[in-house]
Amino acid sequence: MTSKSPNSSLCLLFTSLLICVLSAPILFAQNPVANYDEKAVPAFQLPDPLILGSGDAVLDTATWWSLRRPEIMEMFENEMFGKTPDMKLPVSFELTSLDKNALGGIATRKEITVYFTADKSGPSMVILLYLPNHVESKVPVFLAMNFNGNHTIHPDSGVSITRSWLEVNRESLSNGSKTVADSRGSASRRWPVEMILQRGYGLATIYYEDIDPDFDDGFQNGIHPLFYKSGQTSPNSNEWGSIGAWAWGYSRAMDYLETDGDIDSRRVILMGHSRLGKAALWAGAQDQRFSVVISNNSGCGGAALSKRAYGETIGRINRVFPHWFCDNFLKYGENEGSLTFDQHMLLSLIAPRPLYVASAEEDLWADPQGEFLSALHASPVYKLLGTDGLQAEARPLPGLPVMSTIGYHIRKGKHDVTDFDWECYLNFADMHFGK
Residues that bind ligand GTR (CB under 6 A): 274-275, 299-300, 312, 317
Residue 60 — φ and ψ, nearest 5°?
Answer: -140, 165
Nearer to ligand GTR, 260 or 363 (CB): 363
CA 260 to chain centre: 25
Helix, strand, or coil here: 208? helix
Handedness of CA 300, 301, 302, 305 (dihedral sign): positive
User: Which residue in 360, 275, 287 sits closest to 324, CA to CA?
Assistant: 275
Q: In 3-state terms, what secondary structure has residue 168? A: coil
Q: Please state, in angstroms and rounded to a whole number, the distance separating the CA atoms of residues 374 and 321.
A: 23
Catalytic pick among 92, 160, 251, 415: 415
Residue 274 beta carbon to ligand GTR: minimum distance, rounded to whole angstroms: 3
Active site residue 274: yes
List, in order, residues 6 or more apart from 18 with CB less than 8 Å away.
Answer: none
Residue 192 beta carbon to ligand GTR: minimum distance, rounded to whole angstroms: 19
Shortest Å distance, C-beta 242 to ligand GTR: 11
In the complex, least distance from residue 144 CB atom to ligand GTR, rounded to whole angstroms: 13
Strand (E) or helix (H) holding 244: helix 242-257
Amino acid identity, position 360: A
| CB nearer to ligand GTR: pick between 108 and 274 | 274
CB 378 within 8 A of CB 347: yes
Cβ-Cβ contacts under 8 Å for 194 (sequence gap 6 or more): 103, 106
283 vs 317 by CB, closer to ligand GTR: 317
The distance of closest approach from Cβ of residue 2 to ligand GTR in the complex, given in angstroms and rounded to an integer, is 48
Q: Which residues of 133-142 are buried (b: 16+ CB within 10 A; e: fewer)?
A: eeeeebbbbb
State the Cα–Cα distance between residues 116 and 252, nearest whole angstrom.
Answer: 9
Residue 259's identity, in one-letter code, is T
Give the CA distances from residue 182 to residues 156, 161, 174, 417, in Å, rounded to whole numbers and listed in that order.
Answer: 13, 10, 10, 22
Query: Which C-beta is closer to ligand GTR: that of 147 or that of 240?
Result: 147
**Distance in Å, CB of 315 to ligand GTR, minimum:** 12
Give the number of C-alpha atoms closer than 13 A to the C-alpha of residue 281, restricted to the C-beta side.
33
For the bound state, the minimum distance from the C-beta of residue 273 to ligand GTR, rounded and expressed in Å, comes to 7
Pick the closer one to ligand GTR by CB: 281 or 300.
Answer: 300
* Half-sphere exposure at residue 200, Cβ-oriented, CA atoms within 13 angstroms: 15
Nearest to ligand GTR of 108, 318 (CB atom): 318
Alpha helices in 313-403 (DSSP H): 314-320, 343-348, 368-384
Nearest CA to 421 among 411, 431, 432, 433?
Answer: 411
Q: Counting Cβ atoms within 10 Å, is residue 57 exposed (0-12), middle (13-18) or buried (19+)? A: exposed
- From the candidates 183, 274, 295, 374, give the one annotated as an active-site residue: 274
Smallest distance, ligand GTR to C-beta of residue 382, A: 26
**Is the distance from CB of 354 to CB of 406 less than 8 angstroms?**
yes
User: Nearer Cβ to ligand GTR, position 343 or 405?
Assistant: 343
**Would you say 246 and 279 are in contact if contact means Cβ atoms under 8 Å apart?**
yes
Q: Which is nearer to ligand GTR, 107 or 283 (CB)?
A: 283
Catalytically active residues are: 274, 415
